[in-house]
Chains A and B, each alone.
Chain A
Amino acid sequence: MSENPVFRVENIEFGYNSEPALIVDELDFQENRIHVLLGPNGSGKTTLMKLLNLLLPLEKGRILFEGRDVSRNRALREHTVYLHQNPLLLTGTVYDNIAYGLKIRKQPGYEIRDKVMEALEVVGLEGFEKRRHNALSGGEIQRVAIARALVLRPKVILFDEPTSSIDRENVRRFEKLLPSIRDLYGTTILVSTHNLPFAYRICDRLVHLDEGRVVPAGENILPGRMVPGEKDERLFVSDGVSIHCPDLEGDFTKAVVDYDRIILSREPLHSSARNTFPGTIEAITPVKNREQAHPLMDVAVKVEGLSLTSRVTGDSCEELGLSPGSRVFVSFKASTVRLY
């Protein structure tokens, strides 16, 4: 079991009209992190989110919240808030909307006012409290809905496709808002999306869903920043490791390298690959893939503070004599690094 999972999903199955929509054997969501559920329409993202918020009745399996089985315990809703793809505001003012959850919890008026004003400030909507629900743009509606959730101080906020109905500027604003919510309130955040660049930019962890199943991750997502290197080139630095990457303009915060683009060798390679680092194998895990005839292995290699995973065949693994603790070299071309 992973460390400190706020949610743990075990053997859940859910379907619509006897058609299976979601089958998950095991999935953890660690606390105080931004988890992104990535997948195309119909991959089961919304279903999973609604099951976690008990908006859908769990048919099979169980959901643990902080270690307790809450599969049918509606008290869970005190700790989680689900935000729709296009959030709905109640008829009334922005203040009425944000205060609603506190009012039904019968909190004192002065406390409600303080929390509403604080939440408005966090989402950047100071002075909007008297605005009517129908006098707001799509991005403002979303921020009011976020503030409405924040005042309840939930342990988990579930965002369902939050970028689908807002413009690029509001997407950027949202991307900055999420880490500040996580850091300010220690909130665990789950976001579903089919927007790949958005997912890479915001995630602490990415969960791929396809046709209602969790599919193995296939990319290293490295947080970091761009720094000037030698000879006018720019490097991406992640956990103290400088990575050669395409020379693109922009403030990128994530570099992505697919597992199958990373080559493992016992000796340093003399090749065109600009990135070659020595490292130590941390773990070797077989890839769970139903369609794969030959077994594949994910080999996690520790390179200074950075963990890089390479996907190799079982045969390669055997031929190279790879095992946890082995010293290896990881190599990949600068052009295989994608920046977000």
Chain B
Amino acid sequence: MGSIFAEALRLIVSGDREVFFIAFTSLRLALASTFFASLLSIPLGIALHFGRIPFKRPIISVLSALMAVPTVVIGLLVFSVLSRSGPLGGLNLLFTPGAIIIGQVFLVLPVLISLVYSGLSRMDPRFHETLITLGARRGDVLKASIIEARFIIISAVLAGFARVVGEVGVSMMLGGNIRWYTRTMTTSIALETSKGQFELGISLGMILLAIALGINIITHSLVKNDV
């Protein structure tokens, strides 16, 4: 077992091309999907909090339920849309990085909307009244809320990134785990483990752990600064 870990470490330290290509692919796809999901979810989360939206509570309940949907289910749904016989089959996106990004956006969207909404809901109730009594209008309140809740929003985005970088179902079903193309850290770990070749899997696992740790450290420091 010790030799497996030593070999895994050697792969990282020596800068193994495949290890770093896979890690880079994972990060690239996760960053892209988190970016696109954030563009949609941050305004939606804010609108959900401040807006007079009908059926707000049922929407929040549905979003909470969607957060728990297994990644393979999201993968399956998007697969059925992107497959040759599906409505968007003509775009030939299946088994491309683009397909993984689309799937991951759907995966993380409810997570991000819920986190932004609940983060804003946790803000001090005096905040809104203070702004209003100082003469702030709707636009001023929105702007001040985003500035005041910036750490909450950044924390939500980081949590969303952690969710997509660590998922395997969407990447496997929509990307197809194609070497030098759509293979990500998680799909690679699953494959190498099934083959009984642990070195590459463990080295990727170490990188994944380092990323998770880094995200946690950043999130904690943001929360601390927010107090």
A-to-B contact residues, CB < 8 Å: 53, 55, 77-78, 80-84, 86-88, 90-91, 100-101, 104-105, 134, 148-149, 152
Structural contact, B130 and A53, CB atoms closer than 8 A: no
- Chain A proximity of B152: nearest CB distance (Å): 12
B-to-A contact residues, CB < 8 Å: 124, 126-127, 129-130, 132-137, 140, 144, 147-148, 227
Which residues on A sit within 8 Å (CB–CB) of B144?
A: 90, 100
CB-nearest residue of chain A to B150: A91
Contact partner, B129, options A55, A101, A149, Cβ 8 Å: A55
Structural contact, B134 and A84, CB atoms closer than 8 A: no
Structural contact, B133 and A77, CB atoms closer than 8 A: yes
Which residues on A sit within 8 Å (CB–CB) of B227?
A: 134
Which residues on B sit within 8 Å (CB–CB) of A87?
A: 126, 130
Which residues on A sit within 8 Å (CB–CB) of B130?
A: 84, 87-88, 90
Q: Given that A88-B127, A104-B140 are contacting pairs, would A78 and B133 also be in contact in the complex, using a CB cutoff of 8 Å?
A: no
How many pairs, one residue from A and one from B, have CB atoms within 8 Å of each other in the complex? Answer: 45
Structural contact, A77 and B132, CB atoms closer than 8 A: yes
Q: Given that A90-B144, A90-B148, A104-B140 are contacting pairs, would A55 and B127 also be in contact in the complex, using a CB cutoff of 8 Å?
A: no
- Chain B proximity of A56: nearest CB distance (Å): 10
CB-nearest residue of chain B to A81: B133
Structural contact, A84 and B126, CB atoms closer than 8 A: yes
Contact partner, B136, options A91, A104, A148, Cβ 8 Å: A104
Q: How far is the CA of A165 from the CA of B65 in the complex (A)?
A: 42
Structural contact, A101 and B134, CB atoms closer than 8 A: yes
Which residues on A sit within 8 Å (CB–CB) of B147?
A: 91
User: Which 8 A-B pairs have CB atoms at the shortest separation, nearest pair first?
Assistant: A101-B134, A88-B126, A82-B133, A104-B140, A88-B130, A84-B126, A81-B133, A55-B129
Which residues on B sit within 8 Å (CB–CB) of A149?
A: 134
Q: How far is the CA of A87 from the CA of B135 in the complex (A)?
A: 16
Q: How far is the CA of A190 from the CA of B184 in the complex (A)?
A: 64
Task: Pull 19 A–B residue pairs with CB atoms less than 8 Å apart, ordered by A.
Answer: A55-B133, A78-B135, A80-B133, A81-B134, A82-B129, A84-B129, A84-B130, A87-B130, A88-B126, A88-B130, A90-B130, A91-B147, A91-B148, A101-B135, A104-B135, A105-B135, A148-B134, A152-B134, A152-B135
